[in-house]
Amino acid sequence: MFPEPPTPGPPASDTPPDSSRISHGPVPPWALATVVLVSGLLVFSCCFCLYRKRCRRRLGKKSQAQAQVHLQEVKELGRSYINKVQPEVEELEPALSGPGQQVAEKQELGRLQYSLDYDFQSGQLLVGILQAEGLAALDLGGSSDPYVRVYLLPDKRRRHETKVHRQTLNPHFGETFAFKVPYVELGGRVLVMAVYDFDRFSRNDAIGEVRVPMSSVDLGRPVLAWRELQAAPKEE
């Protein structure tokens, strides 16, 4: 027995396959990474360009402001130079007061705190020398050794003195002195409180003094006051 011949299949078609039927595979990772990188570079380039434009605008405004400030400083410098070279007439102070006399600046000598009271029973004027502050420095070290001399004019021989306070311009004395004077005679007296700088090897220098006409004082009640020191002769 002989085998049967094979049955022929359908004839092959010569037409190409339909492209719409071909299925696309997944996108490779390197392609996605490339797209993301390119997009990031584009965004960064745009942001960098905007930032440079803003910086240029700010620098331009700042340079203009600095130029205006420098111009204003130059103008002020020119005005000050003109004022120094040619001051106004109102700003000129007279150098002389009277023929051949120069105006002396007021010197700060300090001030003194004192108290006054009258004891009608004993007929005594009680003078309290309390403290001084801001005294002028007469020593080389920038300080003074102050003490206070108290007397009633016209009798200069009857006087009292406080203790000497070493190297201070703000001494606290806290001392009280009594002058036996009838009340009816006080109106013609002048109380003098002179502050001196003690010097062991030379004459004591007068820092300043306070003069109080007793006719201007109401002794019906105790008096407590501060007075500025006035210039006094530098002699014992």
pLDDT tens per residue, range 56-95: 776 665 556 555 655 566 566 656 655 554 545 444 444 4
Q: Please give the backbone phi and psi of residue 11, each rounded to the nearest 5 degrees, phi first.
A: -65, 145
**Nearest-angstrom CA–CA distance, 129 and 165:** 13
Q: Is 36 left (phi over 0), alpha (psi -120 to 50) or beta?
A: alpha
**Nearest-angstrom CA–CA distance, 139 and 198:** 10
Integer distance in angstroms from the first to the last C-alpha of the chain? 173
- Can you say whether the dihedral through the CA atoms of 140, 142, 145, 146 is positive or negative? positive
**Nearest-angstrom CA–CA distance, 29 and 35:** 10
- Confirm or reject CATH 3.90.950.10 for domain 111-228, answering yes or no: no
Locate the domains of the chain by residue range. Answer: 29-93, 111-228
State the burial class of residue 147 (Cβ atoms within 10 Å of its Cβ: 0-12, 13-18, 19+): buried
Most confident of 3-12, 15-24, 51-60, 208-217: 208-217
**Nearest-angstrom CA–CA distance, 147 and 139:** 14
Residue type for position 207 = I
Band (pLDDT 50/70/90 cuts) for residue 140 is: confident
Residues of the chain by 3-state class (helix, strand, coil), percent to 5: 30, 30, 40
The structure tokens listed for 68 are 């205006």
**Nearest-angstrom CA–CA distance, 198 and 196:** 6
pLDDT at 17 (0 to 100): 52
| Pairs from 36-43 (Cβ < 8 Å, separation ≥ 24) | none
pLDDT at 193 (0 to 100): 95
Q: Is 173 left (phi over 0), alpha (psi -120 to 50) or beta?
A: alpha
pLDDT at 78 (0 to 100): 59
Residue type for position 196 = Y
Q: Do the Cβ atoms of 207 and 197 come closer than 8 Å? A: yes
